[in-house]
């Protein structure tokens, strides 16, 4: 038994990719499969450096399709396996993720968003929301945490492994290139000292005993003979997803009780939104802040309560309305005006939001 990677807890000053590698090690992840694509590369770099010390394994595959399918294989064999990707790699990753959806495989994928479409930029965006929440040829049966800080990258990577293995839906940590490359202080810790119990991994194939003699063989398929067979299978999956959604959905909000304008954002843009809303409130303005932490499933009840009380909602995102579409679907029937602040592939700072809210209040 190798020593615990993090003894107790300690302050650290790390890049986001480094944080993810530390969190994966702390989560008792055992094997990573990956393919290089900017801006997530350093996750593999740090993982491979730590690997011999903590008895971890790594395979650099031929592409993201293979990285995803080998991750599926790792999970099937009973190890906490994960991968990380971005942009066009995320596009390729959707094929293995769809197999994981159909077979309910607890795979964890870290996405550090870059500009799109195509190869676009290697730097930053929030344009992988559609792909990450609803990619593949299925119904989006996956769980997506959108992180805003390095502390959250650490906390939610640990949580992603637990969510995946507890509920058996593919689970994502959705970061971005800014979070990946930026360095900031955080506390890294052994989950045990925080009272976080890690959900143990279990085998799908290769369980003890002779199949057909001591136990039935595990036989997993993703093709069905008839429409009704698929319909029945999916019906069970939808019911499971709906049942667990309230336990998984998370949000963060303040000042929304009597707000005229609610500013909503996710991920790193939520930091700018939070800072702008604090400034606006210090000036005595009735502005609130609402941030879904899970983009899939969304915190629908809280979202509807907050949006229905506000006069206007400002939606800020570094995409051209991908987040906005999710919100509008969840807020269907609520007549509160939703005002866009979209900067696809470009960062949004607190001044942008502050100025936009001031314009809205003046109109």
Partner 1 sequence: MSVQPTMPKSWRVDTKPHKFCPGCGHGLVLKALGQAIDELDIQDRVVFGCDIGCSLLAWDFFNVDTVQTHHGRTNPVMTGIKRANPDLICIGYMGDGGGYAIGSQHLVNAATRNERITAILVNNAQYGMTGGQMAPTTLPGMKTETTPYGRDVDSTGYPCQGPEMVAAITREGAYVARASVARPVPLKNYIKRAIENQMSGNGFSFVECLSTCPTNWRTNNVETINFVEKEMTKYYNVGEIKVPDPKEPLGIKTSIKVPTGGIG
Chain contacts with partner 1 (rule: CB under 8 A): 30-31, 33, 57, 59, 61-63, 65-66, 69-79, 81, 95-96, 99, 103, 203-207, 209-214, 217-223
Q: Which of 266, 326, 354, 319 is nearest to 120 (CA)?
A: 319
- Residue 66 CB, shortest distance to partner 1, in Å, is 4
120, 30 contact by CB (below 8 A):
no
Tell me the three state secondary structure of residue 243: helix
Cβ proximity to partner 1, 65 vs 338, nearer residue: 65
Degrees, nearest 5: CA angle 332-333-334 = 95
For the chain, how many residues are written? 363
Cβ proximity to partner 1, 218 vs 308, nearer residue: 218
Separation of CA 345 from chain center: 18
What tokens does 93 get? Answer: 């990753």
Give the dihedral sign, CA 350/354/357/359. Answer: negative
- Residue 49 CB, shortest distance to partner 1, in Å, is 9
Cβ proximity to partner 1, 61 vs 130, nearer residue: 61
- Residue 74 CB, shortest distance to partner 1, in Å, is 4
User: Residue 143: exposed, middle, or buried by beta-carbon count in 10 A (0-12, 13-18, 19+)?
Assistant: buried
- Residue 256 CB, shortest distance to partner 1, in Å, is 44
CA-to-CA distance for 61 and 71, rounded, in angstroms?
10
157, 149 contact by CB (below 8 A):
no
Q: Which of 125, 168, 176, 175 is nearest to 145 (CA)?
A: 175
- Residue 54 CB, shortest distance to partner 1, in Å, is 16
Cβ proximity to partner 1, 30 vs 317, nearer residue: 30
- Residue 90 CB, shortest distance to partner 1, in Å, is 17
295, 146 contact by CB (below 8 A):
yes
Q: How far apart are the first and last CA of the chain?
A: 65
Continuous segment of H or E residues that includes residue 188: strand 183-189
- Residue 238 CB, shortest distance to partner 1, in Å, is 22
């Amino acid at each position: 038994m190798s020593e615990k990677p993090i003894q107790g807890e300690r302050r650290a000053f790390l890049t986001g990719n480094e944080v993810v590698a530390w969190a994966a090690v702390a989560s008792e992840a055992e094997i990573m499969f990956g393919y290089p694509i900017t801006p997530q590369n350093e996750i593999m770099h740090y993982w491979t450096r730590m690997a011999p010390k903590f008895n971890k394994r790594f395979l650099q595959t031929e592409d993201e399709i293979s990285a995803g399918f080998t991750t599926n294989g790792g999970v099937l064999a009973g190890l906490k396996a994960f991968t990380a990707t971005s942009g066009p790699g995320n596009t390729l990753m959707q094929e293995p993720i769809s197999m994981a959806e159909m077979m309910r495989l607890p795979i964890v994928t870290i996405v550090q968003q870059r500009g799109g479409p195509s190869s676009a930029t290697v730097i930053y965006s929030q344009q992988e929301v559609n792909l990450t929440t609803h990619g593949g040829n299925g119904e989006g049966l996956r769980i997506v945490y959108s992180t805003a800080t390095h502390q959250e990258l650490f906390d939610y990577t640990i949580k992603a492994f637990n969510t995946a293995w507890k509920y058996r839906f593919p689970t994502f940590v959705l970061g971005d290139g800014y979070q990946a490359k930026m360095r900031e202080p955080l506390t890294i810790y052994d989950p045990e000292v925080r009272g976080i119990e890690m959900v143990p991994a279990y085998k799908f194939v290769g369980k003890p005993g002779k199949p057909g003699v001591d136990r039935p063989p595990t036989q997993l398929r993703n093709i069905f003979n008839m429409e009704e067979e698929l319909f029945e299978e999916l019906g069970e999956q939808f019911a499971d997803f709906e049942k667990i959604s309230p336990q998984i959905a998370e949000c963060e909000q303040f000042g929304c009780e009597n707000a005229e304008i609610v500013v909503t954002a996710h991920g790193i843009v939520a930091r700018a939104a939070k800072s702008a809303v604090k400034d606006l409130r210090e000036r005595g303005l009735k502005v609130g802040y609402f941030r879904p932490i899970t983009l899939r499933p969304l915190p629908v009840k809280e979202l509807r309560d907050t949006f229905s009380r506000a006069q206007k909602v400002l939606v800020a995102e570094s995409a051209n309305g991908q987040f906005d579409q999710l919100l509008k679907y969840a807020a269907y029937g609520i007549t509160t005006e939703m005002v866009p602040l979209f900067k696809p592939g470009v960062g949004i700072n607190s001044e942008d939001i502050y100025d936009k809210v001031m314009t809205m209040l003046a109109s």
